[in-house]
Amino acid sequence: MAAVDLTTHPGHLARRLQQAHYLLWNTMVSEEITSPQFAVLNALVAEPGLDQRTVGERVGLDRSTIAEVVTRLTRRELVDKVRDPQDGRRWLLRLTPGGLRTHKKLAVRTARMNQIFLAPLDASERGVFFDLIQRVCDGAEGLRHPGEVEVVGA
């Protein structure tokens, strides 16, 4: 059997891309706050007072992962949880003053990191790159039920 050309395997390339992102994140942005944690802070800057489930949906984290991320951010006193006055079973999330300061600091760092990460692409290629990745991510939402996914061109 011949070796497989992994440059045609999206999972392999996605893993390599994630490795590069992880390295840049840890060296340029933060060793303490992870990229998913920053995504939660960012979601709460964009839409303060969201409930935990909605934040998870906004940033693409499953229920157990968003719960763990929120717990860590709460322990660091970056996020507060308050009972929803309309539904006592639901928790609403809001950034603390420390969470706002942390987001502001990390947002500047992520902008610089992204410049370096995307340096191999010119401006027009970046637009295409983001469009294609977004389409694959959107399509991946359906992979929770792979039998129902329509394969285009098959």
Read off the pLDDT band of 147 (50, 70, 90). low
pLDDT tens, residue by residue, 86-140: 888 888 999 999 999 999 999 999 999 999 999 999 999 999 999 999 999 888 8
The mean pLDDT value for 47-51 works out to 94
Range of the domain at 84: 11-142
Beta-carbon contacts of 55 under 8 Å, excluding residues fewer than 6 positions away, are 40, 43, 44, 61, 66, 70, 93
For residues 27 and 66, the answer to whether their CB atoms sit within 8 Å is no
With respect to residue 153, please indicate whether it lies within any of the assigned structural domains: no
pTM for the model stands at 0.86
Look over the chain and give the mean of its residue pLDDT values, rounded to a whole number: 92
Total tally of structural domains belonging to the chain: 1
Find the CATH number of the domain harbouring 83: 1.10.10.10
With respect to residue 109, please indicate whether it lies within any of the assigned structural domains: yes
With respect to residue 91, please indicate whether it lies within any of the assigned structural domains: yes
The mean pLDDT value for 141-147 works out to 65
Helix (H, G, I), strand (E, B) or coil at 106: helix
pLDDT reading at 150 higher than 70: no
With respect to residue 44, please indicate whether it lies within any of the assigned structural domains: yes
With respect to residue 154, please indicate whether it lies within any of the assigned structural domains: no
Supply φ then ψ for residue 87, to 5 degrees: -150, 100
For residues 127 and 111, the answer to whether their CB atoms sit within 8 Å is no
